[in-house]
A and B are shown apart, each in its own frame.
Chain A
């Protein structure tokens, strides 16, 4: 399989504090890679370096075969990297439809008509069709989380970075999300999915990566990784 994302020796220090150290991994096209790790493991910093908001101290990020280590966030978005935030950040004064439209027309660079159709499909996929005209700032939490995913999808990304959706949701809501992520994968979109509540994501991920103290502790199939003593120590010990 072709690799969509290649991360090599990525390191980030803030002064004396190193939050990512020699992180190297690949993501194949259409693959779902789960990322787990305790608080402060450097998961969100890693996403920042992938989406371009944080400049790494050293190392490279290649996307679709192209070096994007110094590419600014808006260009990465246009190249096809979408991201969601743990705390949803909709454009509150715009409707759901308008939120998706800016994503589709700016990051996705679609013309208005193509955008219309794609927005319709995205709304349907994320179960938001009924909320299309609502102001995004007024949505309840669960709908906001769906909206966060929908807007990232509206960009028509080739790689989607999902930052912790499960927190604060019920079992049922979480499984609804898993279904959504699975349909995202069936669209051929690769996913890197950070999660704190591990069990939720095991069924949807192809591979699992464990981060601790800014370093990769383990990578492999979910079963393998969960059986490793390192993983157990980090999770059961903590």
Chain B
């Protein structure tokens, strides 16, 4: 191997690791909401991917009405999505929670099936509604950052937007973890996620706690949807593939674990990009799923869960 070959091999590897890590930040943000609803409500939210797309469309609509710099859209978008999450949980999902199903004396099979059916239904309704309103034309959030990159050396550069999203993911997930650890309502979320019956016995209004957790979940979907819109185009039926990615991340990181979500995203991102670098683009998705399969077989509790 000549020196030059070695140099390029190193550049390939460095590039793969960096691109993979930034892709990982993106994956992590997509997955946090899913991890949260699963961790707290034990709810598998099949409509998670569609909510990301809804957020992206909302961002486009708001920016269409008020053409400001795109980042400002987060200001109305994030609280809006929180409210939608809260109302959705209180108005609909709480009625099919394990708790509610038990109280109505339905079988455990129903407790398992009802939330899946309902969220699958929401997924269908959302994507159809988006198609009805926006047609199937691809949309994107117009911005000046899409193609900008930071050059680290002559042959090595990193996408500004992607790097920004990695940082955003780290900051937001860290903030969420602190919120859940340190605040009054955060402690209620942890207690309720551990044992909802006992949490009620300790004076916590679990319906409200679930509402807040669901609101937080969609709040993260707002960030993720914005990020999707900023870095690529999207269509009404793009939700399910994102849901699939999020499932992968959550499995790798450990079901319901927030830190695991972040690290899981990065591991998945790096695996995919490196596989793409060395075995061609076709290997990228395959490597991702192989990794998920491997983790499920060897460490079903996830790589980053004690």
Q: Real complex partners, A and B?
A: yes
**Which residues of A come within 8 Å of B, CB atoms?**
51-53, 72-74, 77-78, 83, 85, 89, 91-94, 98, 101-103, 105-109, 151, 155
B200: chain A residues within 8 A (beta carbon): 52-53, 72-74, 77
B199: chain A residues within 8 A (beta carbon): 91, 102
A108: chain B residues within 8 A (beta carbon): 203
> Which B184-200 residues sit within 8 Å CB-CB of chain A?
184, 187-188, 190-191, 194-195, 197-200
Known: A98-B187, A101-B187. A106 touches B194 (CB 8 A): no
What is the CA–CA distance of A53 and B199 in the complex, to the nearest angstrom? 12
What is the CA–CA distance of A42 and B199 in the complex, to the nearest angstrom? 24
What is the CA–CA distance of A77 and B188 in the complex, to the nearest angstrom? 14
A52: chain B residues within 8 A (beta carbon): 200
Partner of B201, one of A83, A93, A105: A83
Interface of chain B, main secondary structure: helix
Contact code string B177-217 (vs A, CB < 8 Å = 1, else 0): 00000001001101100110111111111100000000000
What is the CA–CA distance of A105 and B184 in the complex, to the nearest angstrom? 8
Cβ of B203 to closest chain A Cβ, rounded Å: 3
* Residue of chain B at shortest CB distance from A154: B202
Known: A53-B197, A105-B184. A94 touches B204 (CB 8 A): no
A73 and B184 contact, CB distance less than 8 A: no
Contact code string B269-304 (vs A, CB < 8 Å = 1, else 0): 000000000000000000000000000000000000
**Which residues of B come within 8 Å of A, CB atoms?**
184, 187-188, 190-191, 194-195, 197-206
B202: chain A residues within 8 A (beta carbon): 77, 102-103, 106-107, 151, 155
B194 and A93 contact, CB distance less than 8 A: yes
A89 and B198 contact, CB distance less than 8 A: yes
* Residue of chain B at shortest CB distance from A105: B184
A109 and B203 contact, CB distance less than 8 A: yes
B195: chain A residues within 8 A (beta carbon): 89, 91
Known: A74-B206, A102-B187, A102-B188. A91 touches B201 (CB 8 A): no
Partner of B205, one of A74, A93, A109, A155: A74
Cβ of A129 to closest chain B Cβ, rounded Å: 21
What is the CA–CA distance of A113 and B51 in the complex, to the nearest angstrom? 41
A94: chain B residues within 8 A (beta carbon): 187, 190-191, 194
Partner of A91, one of B184, B190, B205, B206: B190
5 closest pairs, A vs B, by CB? A107-B203, A106-B203, A77-B203, A73-B200, A91-B194
A102 and B191 contact, CB distance less than 8 A: yes
Cβ of B259 to closest chain A Cβ, rounded Å: 13
Q: Give 7 A-B pairs besides A77-B201, A91-B195, A102-B188 with Cβ atoms closer than 8 angstroms.
A: A74-B201, A77-B202, A77-B203, A78-B203, A89-B195, A91-B199, A102-B187
Cβ of B143 to closest chain A Cβ, rounded Å: 41
* Residue of chain A at shortest CB distance from B198: A89
A151: chain B residues within 8 A (beta carbon): 202
B197: chain A residues within 8 A (beta carbon): 53, 73
Known: A98-B187, A105-B184. A92 touches B203 (CB 8 A): no
B187: chain A residues within 8 A (beta carbon): 94, 98, 101-102, 105
What is the CA–CA distance of A108 and B204 in the complex, to the nearest angstrom? 10
A72: chain B residues within 8 A (beta carbon): 200
